[in-house]
Amino acid sequence: MLSRTADHLFWMARYVERAENTARMLDVNLSTSLLPQSAEASERGWRAMLSISELTADYDARYPILSPRDVIDFMVRDPTNPSSIYSCLQAARENARAVRGSLTTEVWETHNDTWLAMQKLLAERKPERDPQSFFEWVKFRSHLSRGVTIGTMLKDEAFFFIRLGTFLERADNTARLLDVKYHGLAESSLAQAARSDESAIDHHMDFYHWAAILRSVSAFEIYRKVYRDVITPSRVAELLILRSDMPRSLVACMDEVCLNLEKVRNSRSQETERRSGLLRAEVRYGRIQDILAQGLHPYLTSFLERVNDLGGRISQDFLVPLQAA
């Protein structure tokens, strides 16, 4: 397969996954912002969401103050924001158009219909009128794209590069979400623990916050099925890092990255496979006690650096190098 074709397929999948994860993060932030809390706590939550995507500086350059409405507008429809849902779905469609010959008709029509419907929804101001319904629509279109790909495409190199892009992006986004949300809520919980007169309220607030985070990665029902107990930060971290049967966990994503790298290996990819296999082994055989003992934030920061390194190496080994692109 030509490097440029593989590049379009890889990034098409990454952009669709990124649009879905942006919708998930906005949805959970919108849900938690409706809970009783101070203005400062609400602002921290929205700033944390911008921090996940490393967009705080870009947002501050465009808007004088932070408001939920402006953050949603920036992350949904701003064409100058490369991580906005608008930009991601546009880029996914353009990458799909460039390699129509490598896609089935159903896959191409799904991407094209998503882009056309997106423009219509934005013109009707759907994100402003009913944001949660709009976020559900974005998630549904992402699910549809993956389902059509799995159900209609030949399991050849084109399919493997699409899957590789999907799971590399998902690993990155799950780690970012868990890092920022866990760090913020853990600090909040420690502060609340010092105020015994509010302990009952605090426990209820913790439950709703952690439940919202689990729902943002479609893991609330899975958590209940696996643990059958109260929601605790350490178990949320364990579920989203170490459970291979959890579809959006870090270990499940790395399993798929390694599997698909093996399918497309070439004479230059041995070191990339080695590094991805090493990272997979660390999350597969890790223990949550050890991770929390060393600090979740340093652990996830290291994971993100290594995932980004893998993305760069995949570009060098198989795709159009990032510098040239």
Summarised one tens digit per residue, pLDDT across range 293-322 is 988 889 999 999 999 999 999 999 998 765
What are the pLDDT digits (tens) for 232-259?
888 999 999 999 999 999 999 999 999 9
Which of 88-102, 168-182, 204-218 is the least confident region? 204-218
pLDDT of residue 191 exceeding 50: no
What are the pLDDT digits (tens) for 43-74?
877 888 888 788 989 999 999 899 889 999 99
CA angle 248, 105, 320 (to 5 degrees): 60
**151: nearest Cα among 101, 110, 99:** 110
Contact status, residue 291 vs residue 299, Cβ threshold 8 Å: yes
Q: Buried (b) or exposed (e) across 305-318, using 16+ Cβ within 10 A? A: ebbeebbebbbbbb
What is the pLDDT at residue 231?
86
Average pLDDT, the chain: 88
What is the pLDDT at residue 54?
84
Split at pLDDT 50, 70, 90, the class of 323 is low
What are the pLDDT digits (tens) for 153-186?
999 999 999 999 999 999 999 998 888 776 665 5
Q: pTM of the prediction?
A: 0.89
Specify the length of the chain in residues.
Answer: 325
pLDDT of residue 11 exceeding 80: yes
Separation between Cα atoms, residue 209 and residue 231, nearest integer Å: 10
Mean pLDDT for 209-221 is: 85
Question: Percentage of the chain surpassing pLDDT 90?
Answer: 65
Split at pLDDT 50, 70, 90, the class of 325 is very low
Question: Percentage of the chain surpassing pLDDT 70?
Answer: 90
pLDDT of residue 199 exceeding 60: no
Which residue blocks in the chain are alpha helix, DSSP H?
Answer: 3-33, 39-52, 56-62, 68-76, 85-98, 105-123, 126-129, 131-152, 157-193, 199-216, 220-227, 233-241, 250-264, 270-284, 288-294, 296-317
